[in-house]
Amino acid sequence: MIDLSCKKYGVISLGCDKNRVDSEKLLAVIRAGGGTVCNDVSEAQVVIVNTCAFLNSAREEAIDTVLECAEYKRTGKLEKLVVTGCLPQKYIAEVFPLLTEADVFLGINDYDKFFEQLAASYESGRVNGVGCGNCSAATERVLTTPCHYAYLKIADGCNNCCTYCLIPKIRGRYTSYPMEQLVSEASSLGDLSELIIVAQDITRYGEDIYGSRMLVELLRKLTALENIGSVRLLYCYPDVIDEALISEIRDNDKIVKYIDIPLQHSEDRILKLMNRKGSGQSYIDLIAELKRQIPGIAIRSTFICGFPSETEEESAALGDFIRRAELFNCGFFAYSREPDTGAFRLKGQVPKAVKNRRVKQMYAIQSKISENRLLSYVGGTLQVLCDGIDYERGCFVGRAYFQAPDIDGKVYFFSADAVQGEYYAVHIDGSDEYDLFGHTFDYTEEPDVG
C-alpha cells in the first residue's frame, strides 16, 4: 500500500469565502494524515483544486485551472490531480468522462474520505468519489487567511430558491451547523481580531435544527469567547433582518457596525421574477431603520443588472434607488443565464452588451457616492486594523470598520511601526473613490497620499 503521508500536497481554492472554509478543512485532513502542504503547486505531488460552479464563468475558471495544473504532470512532480467542491458535486456526470486529466473527484462533503479515494486512484486509476463522505461536522481547519482574521461558515445550502441561483441545486437545502460545533470551531481558531460570519444566508441560522432563528443567540456565544476580538456579518437577507438582530448589532460592542445585505434589485416586478421577498420600498425602509438605530452603520449590498425583461426604465430606477440608499459599498453583476434555474426559461433575455453597460452605469453612480463618503473622512482619524504591509506601495495596509476583506476598499497608511492584527489611530490625509490614505501619529515624515 502506498504511503500517502510522505507526499507533498498543494491546494488551490476557487470561488467564495465559504469555499475557502471548505478548503481549510481539507487542509486539516491532509495535515492530520501526515501530509506536507506546500505553497508552490509546481512542487506538489498531489494537487487539489477546490472548485466553484455558481456561474458559467466560475465553471470555466475551474476547468481552466485543472487543465493548467495537469501540465505539471508533464513538466513537474505532479502524480495525482484531485478536483473537489461544487463543480463535481453538480456536474460529475459531465466532467468525469470529459476531464480525464483529473484522477479523483470529490463533492462538497467528501473530504473525510480524501485519503481513501486518493489511495484508490493510485491502486486502480481514476476515481469518482462524489457522495462517498460525510464531513459536515468537521471543525478542524488550517487557516489560509492572515492569522488575525478568519471566516466561520455557520450553514450550508439555501432554501430561498432565487430564480437566478444554482446554490440549492449544488449544495442542497439550508443546513445549519450545531451551535456547540460552531462555538468549538471558533474557539480553536486562535486569537482573532475579527471573525467573519458567512453562509449563503446567515439570518436564517437555526430554523432547520432548532425550529426558530438563532443567529442572535449564536452571536452572543461567539462574542463571549475570549479569543474573538470582533465579529463581522456577511450575507443577511433583508426579509428576515428583525428587531432582535438590529438590537444585537447596535448593543453588542464586539459586533462590527457593518452588515452585508444582498438586495439584488429595487423594482418590484423584477424582484418578483427573481423570487425575492420584499419590495423596493421595504428595502428603503429597512436601510433607513438600520441607519436610525445604528448611526454610522456600514451597509453593503449586491445587485444584478440585466435580469431577463429588465427595461431601461427599471434599470434607471435601480440607479435612483442606489442614489437614495447611499450605501457604503456595492457590487454589481451582469445577470448570468444558468441552465437548471427558473430564470433560464424567462423570456426577454437582455443582450450581453446591454447588461455590461448597465453594470458600468450602476458602478458610476455608486463610485460617486463612495468617493464623497470617503472624502468626508479626510482630515479626521479612523481606527484601522492592520492587515500587513503593501510592499508595492511601501506602506502598511489595513481596514476601517466599513471595509471587509477582499470585497471592499482599504486604508493605506504610513507608520513608524505597525503590527498585523493590531488597531491603530490613523489620520486620513487623502482618498479616492475606493481607498483611504493616511498616517499614524508617530510617523513624522511627509506622507504620500497616493
pLDDT of residue 311: 98
Q: For 119-131, what is each residue's pLDDT tens digit?
A: 999 999 999 999 9
Using left for φ > 0, alpha for ψ between -120 and 50, and beta otherwise, residue 222 falls in alpha
Looking at the domain 381-440, which fold is it?
Answer: OB fold (Dihydrolipoamide Acetyltransferase, E2P) (2.40.50)
pLDDT at 416 over 60: yes
Domain spans of the chain, in order of start: 4-128, 149-375, 381-440
Q: How far apart are CA 333 and CA 178, in angstroms?
A: 33
pLDDT at 157 over 60: yes
Q: What share of the chain is helix, strand, coil (3-state, %, to 5)?
A: 40, 20, 40
- Mean pLDDT (whole number) for 51-70: 96
- Mean pLDDT (whole number) for 246-269: 98
How many CA atoms lie less than 13 Å away from 94 in the CB half-sphere? 8
Of residues 443 and 258, more confidently modeled? 258
- Mean pLDDT (whole number) for 83-108: 97
pLDDT at 94 over 80: yes
Q: How far apart are CA 203 and CA 196, in angstroms?
A: 14
CA angle 257, 162, 314 (to 5 degrees): 80
pLDDT of residue 272: 98
From 63, 46, 70, 68, select the one nearest 119 (Cα to Cα).
46
pLDDT of residue 318: 98
pLDDT at 392 over 90: yes
- In order, the DSSP letters of 331-354 are EEEE----TTSGGGG-S-PPPHHH
pLDDT of residue 450: 54
**Cβ atoms of residues 298 and 257 within 8 Å:** yes
**Cβ atoms of residues 83 and 49 within 8 Å:** yes
Q: How far apart are CA 285 and CA 343, in angstroms?
A: 28
**Cβ atoms of residues 237 and 203 within 8 Å:** yes
- Mean pLDDT (whole number) for 227-234: 98
- Mean pLDDT (whole number) for 188-216: 97
Q: For 348-373, what is each residue's pLDDT tens digit?
A: 999 999 999 999 999 999 999 999 99
- Mean pLDDT (whole number) for 140-162: 96
Residues in the chain: 450
From 284, 279, 356, 282, select the one nearest 315 (Cα to Cα).
356
pLDDT of residue 413: 98
pLDDT of residue 446: 64
* DSSP-based three-state secondary structure for 183: helix
Q: For 29-54, what is each residue's pLDDT tens digit?
A: 999 999 999 989 999 999 999 999 99
Tell me the residue type at 396. Answer: F
Of residues 139 and 309, more confidently modeled? 309
449: confidence class by pLDDT, cuts 50, 70, 90: low
- Superfamily (CATH) of domain 149-375: tm_1862 like domain (3.80.30.20)
Q: How far apart are CA 140 and CA 23, in angstroms?
A: 11
Mean pLDDT of the chain: 96
pLDDT at 135 over 90: no
pLDDT of residue 353: 98
Q: Which uninterrupted H or E stretch holds 289?
A: helix 280-293
Taking the domain 4-128, which CATH number applies?
3.40.50.12160
Q: How far apart are CA 269 and CA 276, in angstroms?
A: 10
From 294, 283, 291, 299, select the one nearest 238 (Cα to Cα).
283
pLDDT of residue 137: 67
From 328, 152, 185, 155, select the one nearest 257 (Cα to Cα).
328
445: confidence class by pLDDT, cuts 50, 70, 90: confident
- Mean pLDDT (whole number) for 382-390: 98
* DSSP-based three-state secondary structure for 12: strand
Q: What would the grid cell of residue 129 be?
A: 468519489
- Mean pLDDT (whole number) for 231-247: 97
